């Protein structure tokens, strides 16, 4: 590639992005005010319960690695380890609710390992999380207890300059679609982004490092918890995931456990291409342009199918666990009936609807199906032959091909849509989705326009991205 | 299976078949007369050439294992090993032609390892084959020299009763379609049938023995040329064919080298099923009943294709070598372009026409083709991405799936018929067929009726058997 085609120098790109991701003084002031309100409320609540507690801000606000526009505040109520888990749950919720009442926020209870409170105050979304106060991971009772250790570690390592590098990295990850440790994304957590900047030193150095990552080979051990000669054993111990990054505060934990192969590969590819030709597009992908479904179907000649289901009320990670299980189930159903799945995906607003999307080579298969039986001379050959010797469902044979009995018989399902409608119940589903199958609707080809016209922009954008499969950052 | 469903006892079946396969006294007389004529002619020709020669009848007539209705006589002119191969060829042909002239038969020259003469006398088809006279296989100069040793061996081993057992076995092999060592069939030679009767003792005992054959495992060494502990080494030495039967007169030769896996498996299956329920159908399969092509196509929903070519003038084994090579080539062409071949075959009258037959799952594929590229991070990823980033032939992507770059692009051939017409030249063909590709015609679906209505019964029967794939012996 000639230097002239390399686009803008990356300094100019990063300066522009930084001006957009860095919180403004007004934003900081606003967040500060919300936090002051919360602390004031908590202070007034001391004595409400018979144990001592400490309140701390965690997450990207505490580490000052948040991005302009973020509205998330994580507040931890830390209890001494001397109380029981039951006490922690009861006291935690009581304090959290009392605080929410005092600051006048709407709230709802949510569940992770413990119940916690999600509070909405002045446009902010505040999670109030009870946890045990610990000094080292060995004292940990539940996974959230480790969070304050993460906060502490990152704050001790990141100066102002590097915090901006983290902001660039997070926005880059968002732009290319790999940001987020939740199951829906299976990508990189904010903490992981921070660790990468700590390890490599700057945004650009992260990208340079990532350029030579290799899935299932790369292991990063920032604090040198393990001697290099043990690296293979350590990877084995973590179950050979695509990426291993030893959590600096807890060497038993892989801080990159959430990262899927595809998201890791996407990060590698985007890093390599960005370094060749930097562009703002990596950080802010353009909206996909509209498509004409009818035209698109005509050009492709494939079969598009959508399965619509009501959405069960579940915490997102549980919901997406079930969605991905059903998706895999549908894929296997198609495979078992010889329909070639080119691509499949799922979308949900996490409230009302789930949509499973499939593109098949063909939605119709011939009536005739080739069925390979036992080898000649095997004990069950006689059963096979007598089963298929007569019967209207036999189209040819039984005959011998190579060393095996083969028969051509009538296929059970020649239309993919019919297979979905009649076979969905035979697929393994999560228990909440399984109960909703009676409300299933299947749309084929141009029928998908109904969904595109009634489900709103987010679905439409998702669908177009899925169908066109353009990586917009490539086109800068 | 209850005894009552076991059909006729095999003795009755074999008695009926034997009455049909045993030559009648009239036939024997007629063959004897032809042979006398030939011997008389040869006697008169002594002195025509400056070397001595001996004339011998070989093959099934000499061994008295021929089947009623057979019209083949093998006559060998045996020369001393002292003359050169060139002399043998020249003298052999001269004597043979002079003999043919004397008996008043039409003839044509044919070629195996040496030239030989095919003579037609009184409805008989006489091969007059020059060979060297040898006493042991070590003295062999060409493969035909061994034939008299085979004749001698078999005559020494078979009494009148066992010669009838050979006749039953040959007819059984004909009936189930595995008789013939020529390339077209790739089955069992007459000599091999004789050896099996010698080895197992009777027709029924052959079938019992064959019932427990296992492809690539079975090795038969009638004369015990090799110690049992060397059996695996011997199989290895023969290139691990489906079946090994050490030639009793030449331990370096696998007398079953011609047998394909499919023909071996068919013989095994037919033996097993015959023993369960004997029937004359195994020996004399009924003619396949007629079909309505249009109805058949409708029931199947598949794509039938026929490629018609003129037939090059070649000895059958050379011709079928080329035919099978082209068939494999066409099959690979379909595979390379993602058309699923359910079944393929070839037919030829060995004079005028060759027809290649294909049944595909579908004759049409979608415009869209999935094309998997290099892994992310590999040296050629940039070339792949820049090749597919723009261009009207790109339908979606490039995108990342798992660890790989993938693109959806326009397929080169969406119709199988078009692929055959435009791609036949890119396939590897034998040199004679390659020259005839300009005359290629392709028929699809109901168009095959043209061939069925104009090519005569043998093609029609072949086509129906291929399409319906019924093993008629199973239905007895």
pLDDT digits (tens, 9 = 90+) for A23-77: 999 999 999 999 999 999 999 998 888 899 999 999 999 999 999 999 999 999 9
Burial of B160 (0-12, 13-18, 19+ CB in 10 A): exposed
Residue of B213, B216, B265, B279 to mutate for A, most A C-beta atoms under 10 A: B265
Give the mean model confidence (pLDDT) for residues B137-154.
94
For B266, the closest chain A residue by CA position comes to: A400
Q: Are B174 and B82 in contact (CB under 8 A)?
A: no
Taking residue B47's Cβ as centre, other Cβ atoms within 10 Å add up to 7
How far apart are the CA of B344 and the nearest CA of chain A, in angstroms? 11
Of A92-96, B434-438, B472-476, the least confident: B472-476
Contact between chains at B265 and A381 (C-beta distance less than 8 A): no
Of A424-428, B172-176, B308-312, the least confident: A424-428
Contact between chains at A265 and B403 (C-beta distance less than 8 A): yes
The domain containing residue A34 runs over which residues?
23-155
How far apart are the CA of B146 and the nearest CA of chain A, in angstroms? 31
Contact between chains at A402 and B214 (C-beta distance less than 8 A): no
Confidence of residue B265 (pLDDT cuts 50, 70, 90): very high
Using the 3D structure, point to which of A248, A282, A316 is the last residue of a domain. Answer: A282
| pLDDT value at residue B299 | 95
How far apart are the CA of A385 and the nearest CA of chain B, in angstroms? 8
For B262, the closest chain A residue by CA position comes to: A402
pLDDT digits (tens, 9 = 90+) for A101-143: 998 889 999 887 788 999 999 999 999 999 999 999 999 998 9
Clarify whether residues B469 and B423 are in a common domain. Answer: yes
Domains held by chain B: number: 4
Clarify whether residues A380 and A464 are in a common domain. Answer: no
* Chain B (242-261) residues lying within 8 Å, Cβ to Cβ, of chain A: 261
Clarify whether residues A122 and A192 are in a common domain. Answer: no
Residue with tokens 């030239």: B115
Q: Residue A250 has which token pair?
A: 């807890």
How far apart are the CA of B308 and the nearest CA of chain A, in angstroms? 24
Task: State yes or no: pLDDT of A3 exceeds 60.
Answer: no
Considering chain B, what percentage of its residues have pLDDT values greater than 70?
Answer: 98
How far apart are the CA of A60 and the nearest CA of chain B, in angstroms? 30
Residue A316 lies in a domain: yes
How far apart are the CA of A401 and the nearest CA of chain B, in angstroms? 6
| pLDDT value at residue A475 | 80
CATH number at residue A28: 3.30.460.10
Q: Are A373 and A398 in contact (CB under 8 A)?
A: yes
Clarify whether residues A172 and A250 are in a common domain. Answer: yes
pLDDT digits (tens, 9 = 90+) for B246-261: 999 999 999 999 999 9
Q: Residue B167 has which token pair?
A: 């006749």
Task: State yes or no: pLDDT of A1 exceeds 50.
Answer: no
Residue A8 lies in a domain: no
Q: Which residues pair with A125 in a beta bridge?
A: A72, A120
Contact between chains at B471 and A398 (C-beta distance less than 8 A): yes
Clarify whether residues A74 and A101 are in a common domain. Answer: yes
How far apart are the CA of B96 and the nearest CA of chain A, in angstroms? 42
Question: Which residue among A266, A375, A381 places its CB closest to the CB of B400?
Answer: A266
| pLDDT value at residue B476 | 59
Give the mean model confidence (pLDDT) for residues A245-260.
96
d(CA B414, CA B418): 8
Contact between chains at B401 and A262 (C-beta distance less than 8 A): yes
| pLDDT value at residue A372 | 96
* Chain B (357-416) residues lying within 8 Å, Cβ to Cβ, of chain A: 361-362, 365-368, 370, 375-377, 381-382, 385, 389, 395-405, 408, 414
CATH number at residue B174: 1.10.1410.30
| pLDDT value at residue A148 | 96
| pLDDT value at residue B90 | 93
User: Quick check: B467 contacting A, CB < 8 Å?
Assistant: yes
* DSSP string computed for A35-81: HHHHHHHHHHHTTSSSS--EEEEEHHHHHT---TT--EEEEEEEE-T
Set of chain B residues whose Cβ sits within 8 Å of the Cβ of A212:
377
Which helix (H) or strand (E) segment holds residue A108: the answer is strand A106-111
Give the mean model confidence (pLDDT) for residues A233-254.
95
Which helix (H) or strand (E) segment holds residue B244: the answer is strand B244-247
pLDDT digits (tens, 9 = 90+) for A186-216: 999 999 999 999 999 999 999 999 999 999 9
Clarify whether residues B204 and B272 are in a common domain. Answer: yes
Using DSSP's 3-state secondary structure scheme, residue B237 falls into helix
Confidence of residue A266 (pLDDT cuts 50, 70, 90): very high
Clarify whether residues B390 and B253 are in a common domain. Answer: no
- Which residue, among A50, A51, A49, A75, has the nearest Cα to A61 in the 3D structure? A75
Residue B10 lies in a domain: no
DSSP A285: P
Using the 3D structure, point to which of A226, A250, A282 is the last residue of a domain. Answer: A282
Using the 3D structure, point to which of A155, A188, A218 is the last residue of a domain. Answer: A155
Task: Give the pTM.
Answer: 0.87
Residue A229 lies in a domain: yes
Residue A253 lies in a domain: yes
* Chain B (201-230) residues lying within 8 Å, Cβ to Cβ, of chain A: 211-215
Considering chain B, what percentage of its residues have pLDDT values greater than 90?
Answer: 89
For A464, the closest chain B residue by CA position comes to: B396
Q: Residue A150 has which token pair?
A: 């993460």
- Which residue, among B122, B131, B115, B133, has the nearest Cα to B100 in the 3D structure? B122
**What are the residues whose beta carbons fall under 8 Å from the beta carbon of B395, sequence distance 6 or more?**
A299, A300, B367, B368, B408, B409, B410
Using DSSP's 3-state secondary structure scheme, residue B215 falls into coil
Give the mean model confidence (pLDDT) for residues A444-460.
94
Is the four-CA dihedral B308, B312, B315, B319 of positive or negative sign? negative
Residue A142 lies in a domain: yes
User: Quick check: B29 contacting A, CB < 8 Å?
Assistant: no
d(CA B311, CA A263): 58
Contact between chains at B408 and A471 (C-beta distance less than 8 A): no
For B274, the closest chain A residue by CA position comes to: A382
For A299, the closest chain B residue by CA position comes to: B367
* Chain A (147-206) residues lying within 8 Å, Cβ to Cβ, of chain B: none
Task: State yes or no: pLDDT of B117 exceeds 70.
Answer: yes
Clarify whether residues A67 and A92 are in a common domain. Answer: yes
| pLDDT value at residue A47 | 85
Contact between chains at B368 and A300 (C-beta distance less than 8 A): yes
Clarify whether residues B222 and B79 are in a common domain. Answer: no
Q: Are B46 and B240 in contact (CB under 8 A)?
A: no
Residue A353 lies in a domain: yes
Clarify whether residues A223 and A311 are in a common domain. Answer: no
| pLDDT value at residue B381 | 95
Task: State yes or no: pLDDT of B16 exceeds 90.
Answer: yes
Contact between chains at A366 and B301 (C-beta distance less than 8 A): yes
DSSP B182: S
DSSP B179: B
* Chain B (322-351) residues lying within 8 Å, Cβ to Cβ, of chain A: 342
| pLDDT value at residue A251 | 94
Contact between chains at A273 and B385 (C-beta distance less than 8 A): yes
Confidence of residue B392 (pLDDT cuts 50, 70, 90): confident
Q: Are A406 and A399 in contact (CB under 8 A)?
A: yes
Give the mean model confidence (pLDDT) for residues B64-90.
95
Set of chain B residues whose Cβ sits within 8 Å of the Cβ of A361:
365-366
CATH number at residue B350: 3.30.70.590
Task: State yes or no: pLDDT of A227 exceeds 60.
Answer: yes
d(CA A210, CA B210): 63
For A390, the closest chain B residue by CA position comes to: B475
Using DSSP's 3-state secondary structure scheme, residue A471 falls into coil
* DSSP string computed for A407-448: EEEE-S-SBHHHHHHHHGGGS---HHHHTTGGG-EEEEGGGH
Q: Are A171 and A468 in contact (CB under 8 A)?
A: no
Clarify whether residues A317 and A436 are in a common domain. Answer: yes
Clarify whether residues B40 and B183 are in a common domain. Answer: no
pLDDT digits (tens, 9 = 90+) for B156-204: 999 999 999 999 999 999 999 999 999 999 999 999 999 999 999 999 9
| pLDDT value at residue B111 | 81
Task: State yes or no: pLDDT of B3 exceeds 60.
Answer: no
Residue B14 lies in a domain: no
| pLDDT value at residue B475 | 80
């Amino acid at each position: 590639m000639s230097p002239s085609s390399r686009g803008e120098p990356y300094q100019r790109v990063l300066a522009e992005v930084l001006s957009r991701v860095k919180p403004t003084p007004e934003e900081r002031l606003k967040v500060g005010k919300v936090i002051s309100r919360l602390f004031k409320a908590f202070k007034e609540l001391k004595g409400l319960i018979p144990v001592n507690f400490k309140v701390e801000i965690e997450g990207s606000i505490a580490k000052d690695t948040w991005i302009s526009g973020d509205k998330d505040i994580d507040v931890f109520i830390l209890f001494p380890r001397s109380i029981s888990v039951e006490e922690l749950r009861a006291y935690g919720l009581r304090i959290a609710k009392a605080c929410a009442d005092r600051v006048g926020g709407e709230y709802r209870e949510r569940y992770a390992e413990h119940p916690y409170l999600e509070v909405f105050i002045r446009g902010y979304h505040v999670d109030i999380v009870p946890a045990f106060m610990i000094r080292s991971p060995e004292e940990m009772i539940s996974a959230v207890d480790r969070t304050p250790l993460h906060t502490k570690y990152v704050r001790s390592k990141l100066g102002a300059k590097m915090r901006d590098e983290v902001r660039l990295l997070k926005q880059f990850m968002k732009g290319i679609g790999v940001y987020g440790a939740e199951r829906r994304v299976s990508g990189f957590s904010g903490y992981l982004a921070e660790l990468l900047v700590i390890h490599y030193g700057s945004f650009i150095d992260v990208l340079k490092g990532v350029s030579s990552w290799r899935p299932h080979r790369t292991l990063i051990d920032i604090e040198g918890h393990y001697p290099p000669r043990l690296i293979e054993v350590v990877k084995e111990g973590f179950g050979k995931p695509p990426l291993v990054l030893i959590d600096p505060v807890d060497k038993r934990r892989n801080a990159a456990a959430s990262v899927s192969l595809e998201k890791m590969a996407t990060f590698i590819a985007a890093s390599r291409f960005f370094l060749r030709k930097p562009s703002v597009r990596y950080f802010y992908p353009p909206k996909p342009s509209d498509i004409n479904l009818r035209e698109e179907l005509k050009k492709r000649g494939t079969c598009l199918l959508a399965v619509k289901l009501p959405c069960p009320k579940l915490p997102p990670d549980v919901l997406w666990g079930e969605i991905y299980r059903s998706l895999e189930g549908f894929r296997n159903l198609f495979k078992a009936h010889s329909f070639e799945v080119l691509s499949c995906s799922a979308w949900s607003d996490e409230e009302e609807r789930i949509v499973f999307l499939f593109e098949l080579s063909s939605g119709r298969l011939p009536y005739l199906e080739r069925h390979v039986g036992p080898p000649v001379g095997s004990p069950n050959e006689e059963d096979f032959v007598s089963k298929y010797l007569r019967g209207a469902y036999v189209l040819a044979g039984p005959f011998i091909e190579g060393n095996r009995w083969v028969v051509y018989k009538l296929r059970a399902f020649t239309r993919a849509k019919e297979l979905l409608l009649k076979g969905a119940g035979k697929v393994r589903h999560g228990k909440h989705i399984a109960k909703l199958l009676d409300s299933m609707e299947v749309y084929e080809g141009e029928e998908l326009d109904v969904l595109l016209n009634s489900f709103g922009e987010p679905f439409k954008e998702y669908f177009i991205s899925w169908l066109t499969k353009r990586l917009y950052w490539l086109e800068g």
